[in-house]
Amino acid sequence: MKNALITGITGQDGSYLAEFLLEKKYRVYGIMRRKSVVDYGNVEHIKDKINFIYADMTDSVSLITAMKISQADEVYNLAAQSFVATSWEQPLSTADIDGIGVTNILEAIRIIKPNARFYQASTSEMFGLVQEIPQTEKTPFYPRSPYGVAKLYGHWITKNYRESYNLYACSGILFNHESERRGKEFVTRKITDAVARIKHGILNHLELGNMDSKRDWGHSKDYVRAMWLMLQQDKADDYVIATNETRTVREFVEMAFKHVGIEVEWHRKGIDEVGKDKSTNKIVVKINPKFFRPAEVEILLGNPAKANKELGWIREISFAELVKRMVDNDMSIVEKEIKISNIK
């Protein structure tokens, strides 16, 4: 039985990875932050199967202790302040957690169990102002947010520890991946949650920022499988994980509404643009400039050819299926909420 330590286990990816590793019969340890109210986040449903350790990415002693307790064979570093917009509001804590935090966990591995295998959650945000389309492992980086800059440090320190200390340390350069468990501040979940509420008549409209930015969106369940595959190879390396398809935020909006039978028609331009329900002429989408970012990543499109070839990784959940799953999930959550409020 192998031991795995997951930082960020309560998050979206942490929860799918924990399920995946439990199925493979790993003993799963997960790092949790102390909160005033105990909250297992996305692993509430499997909390009895996980060995939790209280630790924080900014506290190196707690990470050394976590390595000592878990004696992990594989360490998946998924913990991060992961919301790009917040990284302008909290640039220093983002740097501490997403940048220096990576050195903290690498040092814990080096001190306690240098033969442990390490996965770093790198990101397509590091490509930022993209230098070529599509992006591959060889594309130069140009981060556009404090988040992207911090993650780039994490990426390079992982490579550096691999080369300096011969650690088995990999970075997965993962493009956007979403799911029914996505945080509601990210654009996809914000859209699917709003679509469900508008459909049920409990929200008038959805407010968004830049609808023309393009993302390469996959499903988290497919992406955690790639993380595991990276740690099962003969040699540690870095891989782009993406779908090789890109869509605008606008396309996501259209498809999500279409799934509940609403056809959106666009009127006017710029910050005055609105999306109307074609059958009722009612406004369902508006622009709110507060959701624009100080610097935008306009287009992400990843080429996962190396992962396809060397890891045998292929994504199984299509874009249409991703949107469908997210909308269906939010529709049933909203229906339950309405039922409960009617009973009360």
Q: Does 94 bind ligand NAP (CB under 6 A)?
A: no
Report the partner that residue 113 touches, choosing among ligand GDD, ligand NAP, none (CB closer than 5 to 8 A by kind): none
Other beta carbons less than 10 A from residue 107's beta carbon: 16
The interface mask with ligand NAP, positions 180-219, x = CB under 6 A, is ---x------------------------------------
**With CB under 6 A as the contact rule, which of the stretches 5-13, 265-273, 310-318, 322-330 interacts with ligand NAP?**
5-13
The residue (of 226 and 264) whose beta carbon lies closer to ligand NAP is 226
How many C-alpha atoms does 32 have within 13 Å on its Cβ side? 22
Alpha-carbon distances, residue 69 vs 29, 51, 108, 180 (angstroms): 9, 10, 12, 32
C-alpha 32/C-alpha 57 separation (Å) is 10
Report the partner that residue 330 touches, choosing among ligand GDD, ligand NAP, none (CB closer than 5 to 8 A by kind): none
The residue (of 42 and 287) whose beta carbon lies closer to ligand NAP is 42
Query: Which tokens is 45 given?
Result: 């449903």
**With CB under 6 A as the contact rule, which of the stretches 169-177, 201-209, 270-278, 288-296 interacts with ligand NAP?**
169-177
Q: Taking the CA atoms of the chain, what radius of gyration do you get in angstroms?
A: 20
- Secondary structure class of 13 (helix, strand, coil): helix
**The binder of ligand NAP chosen from 63, 95, 97, 116 (CB under 6 A):** 97
Query: Length of the chain in residues, anyone?
Result: 344
The per-residue DSSP string of 192-259 comes to HHHHHHHHTTS---EEES-SS-EE--EEHHHHHHHHHHHTTSSS---EEE--S--EEHHHHHHHHHHH
Q: Which residues are catalytic?
A: 123, 125, 147
Q: Does 148 bind ligand NAP (CB under 6 A)?
A: no
The residue (of 264 and 311) whose beta carbon lies closer to ligand NAP is 311
Q: Using CB atoms, what's the residue nearest to ligand NAP?
A: 11
Query: Which tokens is 145 given?
Result: 């947010």
Beta carbons of 205 and 283 less than 8 angstroms apart: yes
Q: How far is the CB of 272 from ligand NAP (least distance, A)?
A: 30
Q: How far is the CB of 267 from ligand NAP (least distance, A)?
A: 31
**With CB under 6 A as the contact rule, which of the stretches 84-92, 176-184, 230-238, 304-312 interacts with ligand NAP?**
176-184
Q: Does 249 bind ligand NAP (CB under 6 A)?
A: no
Residues that bind ligand GDD (CB under 6 A): 82, 84-85, 123-125, 175-176, 185-188, 190, 208-210, 213, 215, 249, 291, 293, 296, 300
**With CB under 6 A as the contact rule, which of the stretches 51-59, 227-235, 324-332, 335-343 interacts with ligand NAP?**
51-59
Give me the residues paired with residue 206 across strands: 285
**The binder of ligand NAP chosen from 3, 4, 8, 152 (CB under 6 A):** 8
The residue (of 31 and 301) whose beta carbon lies closer to ligand NAP is 31
DSSP H helical segments within the chain, as ranges? Answer: 12-23, 60-70, 86-89, 91-94, 101-112, 146-165, 187-199, 220-230, 249-259, 305-306, 319-343
**With CB under 6 A as the contact rule, which of the stretches 50-58, 111-119, 135-143, 336-344 interacts with ligand NAP?**
50-58
C-alpha 75/C-alpha 95 separation (Å) is 21
**The binder of ligand NAP chosen from 121, 157, 196, 229 (CB under 6 A):** 121
Three-point CA angle 189, 193, 199, nearest 5° = 145
Residues that bind ligand NAP (CB under 6 A): 7-8, 10-14, 31, 33, 41, 56-58, 78-82, 97, 121, 123, 174, 176-177, 183
